[in-house]
Amino acid sequence: MDDAYQYKIVYFDMPGKERHHKYVHKYVNGSTAIIFLFDVTRRGTFEHVEQWIQECSPDKGCDAPIRILVGNKLDQQATKKGAGVSKVEAIALARKYGMEYFETTSIGEAPAIVQVFDHLFK
């Protein structure tokens, strides 16, 4: 990140319920980047993130040039067998939509989300 520039970050945590999908364009249009985040311990969040990716695609009017997929809670384990999402699956989804993939956790001295923002501002 270049210290000579100031960046403005505005973020929205969109609820995953179907009824909220119709509002997504109001929040993402005009954005420079969209970060799609899912919980690696909960397969349902991964399955729903593809719906969000499709809702925020250029053919739906979303013009954000940078789109990133992020798997969160890497430090935790899925509570049920088969409930987690593998890195291979996540990378495949990111590639399908031409995105970079990052994995994050909030544990540690420097949270891994820093890598995501470094990628955004390089």
pLDDT tens for the 122 residues of the chain, in order: 556 776 667 666 666 666 666 666 667 777 788 888 898 998 888 988 888 888 877 777 777 788 899 998 877 765 666 678 999 999 999 999 999 999 988 776 666 777 888 887 77
Q: By CB neighbour count within 10 A (0-12 exposed, 13-18 middle, 19+ buried), where does 74 fall?
A: middle
Domain boundaries, the chain: 22-120
Q: How far apart are CA 1 and CA 11, in angstroms?
A: 18
Q: How far apart are CA 5 and CA 37, in angstroms?
A: 26
Q: Specify the CATH number of the domain 22-120.
A: 3.40.50.300
* Helix locations, 3-76, DSSP H: 24-28, 43-55
Q: How far apart are CA 28 and CA 38, in angstroms?
A: 18
